Amino acid sequence: MNFLNQHKIDFLNHKITRRSLLVVLGYSLVLSTSLLGCVGKNNTNADQGTSPNTTETQSKTSANTGQKVLRIVRSKQLTALASLEKKGILEKRLEPLGYKVEWPEFAAGPQQLEALNAGGLDIASTAESPPIFSQAAGAPLVYLAANSSDGKAVSLVVPANSTIKSVKDLKGKKVAFQKASIGHYLLVRALEKEGLKLSDVESIFLPPPDANVAFSQGKVDAWFIWEPFVTRAEQKKIGRVLVDGGNGLRDTNNFISTSRKFYQENQEVIKIFLEELQKEQIWAKNNPKELAELLASVTQLDVPTLETMHSKYDFTLVPITDKIITKQQEVADKWFRLGQIPKKVNVSDGFLTPDEYAKITPPEVQAQK
């Protein structure tokens, strides 16, 4: 119980809301059935957007229409996945197959994968670490595809008037980040490059909406977070980037994942989804202004700012290779050595065979091998 008690103390010290405590308790390493059933309930607040249904109503078909439901995570990063939702292209492709598409929204990757394992989400989009923590908890996860690393889209920000000038200055400071996220991983990487350990800083585990409040109120000294939070903090002149995931700091990929059950039962749907995502990635990369104009209505950012933000993304699906699997295993081994997961993870358990990938991966992506 030391893990949970420490977080209660942290939250009392920082005057974070009771809702935040309930969310953070959900990140414990054993994703129990009762905890997973609460995921949808904890995502009903306004800052997290559309909430997934509770377990009792999570049916693959709609009782009213008889349609099957595909639930894809809504992209809070406002990239190609967001424009795919905005255009409604996937809905048109899947309608003849009897599917409708829903886009539930979650605070971050760990919450997505809790919902995935609970049956409240079908397709997730995360960085490298959430799947590993999910596998460590025994979830039957499948890595469907890899995406570009987009390192520059993740940054360590400090208050605009902070005296912190380098990562070395973080020693003894309060650093906020979502546990089991890319921010968690990159903080470890950034500290190691300076000869420091995670234990050299005071880790404040907060989901992005609550970390945003804590950072804005000066209750933490730094925050490792992704877009659009970084750009918003800079625009509001409340934060500045100390370091980002570019220049080799980030050495991993993003992943599209699902549950083993959904993969086994919906391979044609997955194939269509990846085809349309690939097309949208290409369109987004070649039409930055149009992408920004399309998504401006769902963000506080103007078109020029969105163009700048989107320039940090590569918009590229990449094939699953031995190199990617090996790197993912290295990350899993690191988390185990650091005591962040309770057991060793064989990430290969979540990857498909080359023949299986060939059946669902767009040919132009496969050709990159």
Question: CA-CA distance, 179 to 205, in Å (whole number)?
Answer: 6
Instruction: Return the structure tokens found at 282.
Output: 């290409």
Residue that has been written with the tokens 């920000």 in this structure: 157
Question: CA-CA distance, 214 to 204, in Å (whole number)?
Answer: 10
Query: What pLDDT, on a 0 to 100 scale, did the predictor assign at position 176?
Result: 98
Question: CA-CA distance, 160 to 234, in Å (whole number)?
Answer: 8
Per the CB < 8 A criterion, the answer to whether 145 and 256 are in contact is yes
Residue that has been written with the tokens 């290779």 in this structure: 321
Instruction: Return the structure tokens found at 272.
Output: 């269509």
Give, in order, the Cα–Cα distances in Å from 63 to each of 66, 68, 99: 6, 9, 13
Query: What pLDDT, on a 0 to 100 scale, did the predictor assign at position 67?
Result: 80
Which pTM was predicted? 0.83
Instruction: Return the structure tokens found at 360.
Output: 């669902």
Query: What pLDDT, on a 0 to 100 scale, did the predictor assign at position 300?
Result: 75
Residue type for position 348: S
Mean pLDDT by 10 residues, the chain (369 residues): 39 39 36 33 31 37 70 87 94 96 96 96 98 97 96 97 98 98 98 97 98 98 96 95 96 97 97 98 96 88 92 94 97 97 97 97 92
Q: What is the 3-state secondary structure (H, E, C) of 306-342?
A: HHHHHCCCCCCEECCCHHHHHHHHHHHHHHHHCCCCC
Query: What pLDDT, on a 0 to 100 scale, did the predictor assign at position 65?
Result: 58
Q: Which domains does the chain have, with CATH numbers?
A: 31-149+253-366 (3.40.190.10), 151-244 (3.40.190.10)
Query: What pLDDT, on a 0 to 100 scale, did the predictor assign at position 333?
Result: 98
Query: What pLDDT, on a 0 to 100 scale, did the predictor assign at position 301?
Result: 85
Query: What pLDDT, on a 0 to 100 scale, did the predictor assign at position 77?
Result: 67
Of 179, 180, 209, 206, nearest in space to 48 by CA = 209
